[in-house]
Amino acid sequence: MNLDLRTMMVMISALSLLFSGLLALVGLHAGDARGVRQWALGSLCIGLGLAFSYTQLEAPPNPWALVFGASLALTGTGFQFSGIQVFKTGRCNRYIPWLAGLAFYQNIWFSVLHPDIHARVIANSILFFLINAASARALFVPVEQPLRTAYWFTGASFVIVSAMFLIRASVVYLLPANTYGLYVQIPLNPTSFFVGGMTQMSIVFGFVLMLNYRLAAEHQKLASTDALTGVMNRRSLELETTRLLARCSRSGETLAVMMIDVDHFKSINDRYGHLVGDEVLKHLTAIAEKSIRSGDYLARYGGEEFCILLPASHEKDAWILADRLRQVFATTAIECGGEALRSTISIGIADSKHAGLEFNSLMVAADKAMYRAKQDGRNRVIRHSAHAYA
């Protein structure tokens, strides 16, 4: 099969520029998507670099066009690596300007100051190999599914393109002096561009796949968490409780539930305003998160009510934790306009041993115990099994 070098370079350049526009649009519609800007710049630089190189398919080549073409393509690959770092950590790679400078200086040296096409191709290929290998290494890391599939697919694409550049450097090194050029019709040129173009498409597709999984996970998190406090919302609480109760049914374990309500919360809102009320809820959330075990679940049940699920726990176990939480909250103040604001909470406790293995019955039992705590004077913890309710 004959591979026309001109056609491939035009197609790869056009596709890279289209990918750049596509990623730029994605960045506009998903404003906080990490790494999109770097990948858009990377595709833009690669597309422009190939466009410069396209003009040099006939001898004699313009050395400055070669300098700008190779430098842009190398910088674009560096931006892709930086995009991976930003996607993973949120931090931009600070070495990209140095990489662009090295690529520019390297190509000036071998294209203008001391022209040597073999040395230039070998040096550029090695630099391409190193950057792509670093990108692959950054993606072959332990990560949860389905993001791992996207990571490893993109990483495999980087492995292929880095291997191609290493082979290219080796072949050119073994060629006789002054026998290689972009316009020379040898299998290396069209094969390199074909492999590079196909893997570049795979790399961009892989990043879009990574981005899709990340955005889907973030949307799912937004749908399952409370916007104010960041803990589980009621819908997530119901799903998690149902799952835990099913496990209790199989294993014979007991699930304990704490229902928490801020005392006189309406008065706090009326006196200090809703913003201060929100701070009280966030303050309670912070204290509760520090108090519970790693395997427990904290959720905002609604308004000023919170719920804590304690797997493999009985009422007595939950009572110890609840009373400690109550004491810490009561003794910790919130600064409000120079005034120390203190509040209290009432807590009701129930477990699946006494209330049953149904979500509604368990929540109703804990809720009744909580209201009994309020009736008995607030700022206290009441166990469901300790009282009979009508």
The CATH number of residue 81's host domain is: 1.20.1070
What range defines the domain where residue 371 resides? 234-386
12 and 138: one domain? Answer: yes
Of the residues 188, 223, 258, which one is the last residue of a structural domain?
223
Instruction: Assess if residue 104 is contained within a domain.
Output: yes
Q: Are 37 and 211 in contact (CB under 8 A)?
A: no
pLDDT at residue number 348: 94
Beta carbons within 8 Å of 268's beta carbon, 6+ residues apart: 262, 276, 277, 280, 341, 343
- Token pair, residue 36, equals 């999109």
Instruction: Assess if residue 228 is contained within a domain.
Output: no
Rounded to an integer, what distance in angstroms lies between the CA atom of residue 129 and that of residue 169?
9
The mean pLDDT value for 54-76 works out to: 77
Q: CA distances (Å), 92 to each of 38, 41, 115, 156, in order?
A: 9, 13, 35, 23
The mean pLDDT value for 334-349 works out to: 86
pLDDT at residue number 220: 79
Torsion angle in degrees (nearest 10) through CA of 376, 377, 382, 385: 0
3-state DSSP assignment of residue 341: strand
380 and 241: one domain? Answer: yes
Residue 57: CB atoms within 10 A of its CB come to 14
Rounded to an integer, what distance in angstroms lies between the CA atom of residue 60 and that of residue 151?
42
Higher per-residue confidence, 150 vs 28: 150
- pTM value is 0.69
> Quick one: what percent of the chain has pLDDT higher than 90?
39
> Quick one: what percent of the chain has pLDDT higher than 70?
92
Lowest-confidence pick of 9-13, 203-207, 322-326: 9-13
- pLDDT-based confidence at residue 227 (cuts at 50, 70, 90): confident
User: What total of structural domains would you count in the chain?
Assistant: 2
- The sign of the torsion formed by the CA atoms of 160, 165, 168, 170 equals negative
Name the residue with tokens 């993606």: 139
Of the residues 223, 242, 274, which one is the last residue of a structural domain?
223
Helix boundaries (H) for the chain: 5-29, 36-54, 63-89, 96-108, 117-139, 147-174, 188-224, 234-251, 265-272, 274-291, 315-331, 352-355, 359-375
- The sign of the torsion formed by the CA atoms of 215, 220, 221, 222 equals positive
The mean pLDDT value for 230-256 works out to: 91
pLDDT at residue number 372: 93
176 and 146: one domain? Answer: yes
112 and 63: one domain? Answer: yes
110 and 252: one domain? Answer: no
Rounded to an integer, what distance in angstroms lies between the CA atom of residue 99 and that of residue 331?
56
Instruction: Assess if residue 275 is contained within a domain.
Output: yes
35 and 113: one domain? Answer: yes
Of the residues 223, 252, 286, which one is the last residue of a structural domain?
223
**143 pLDDT more than 80:** yes
**1 pLDDT more than 50:** no
Give the CA diameter of the chain: 97
96 and 239: one domain? Answer: no
The mean pLDDT of the chain is 86
115 and 244: one domain? Answer: no
pLDDT at residue number 218: 78
Which amino acid, 33? A
pLDDT at residue number 119: 87
219 and 306: one domain? Answer: no
Q: Are 112 and 119 in contact (CB under 8 A)?
A: no
Beta carbons within 8 Å of 339's beta carbon, 6+ residues apart: none
pLDDT at residue number 97: 72
3-state DSSP assignment of residue 2: coil
Give 261-320 pLDDT, tens digit per residue.
999 999 989 888 889 999 999 999 999 999 898 889 999 998 899 999 999 999 999 999
189 and 262: one domain? Answer: no
75 and 163: one domain? Answer: yes
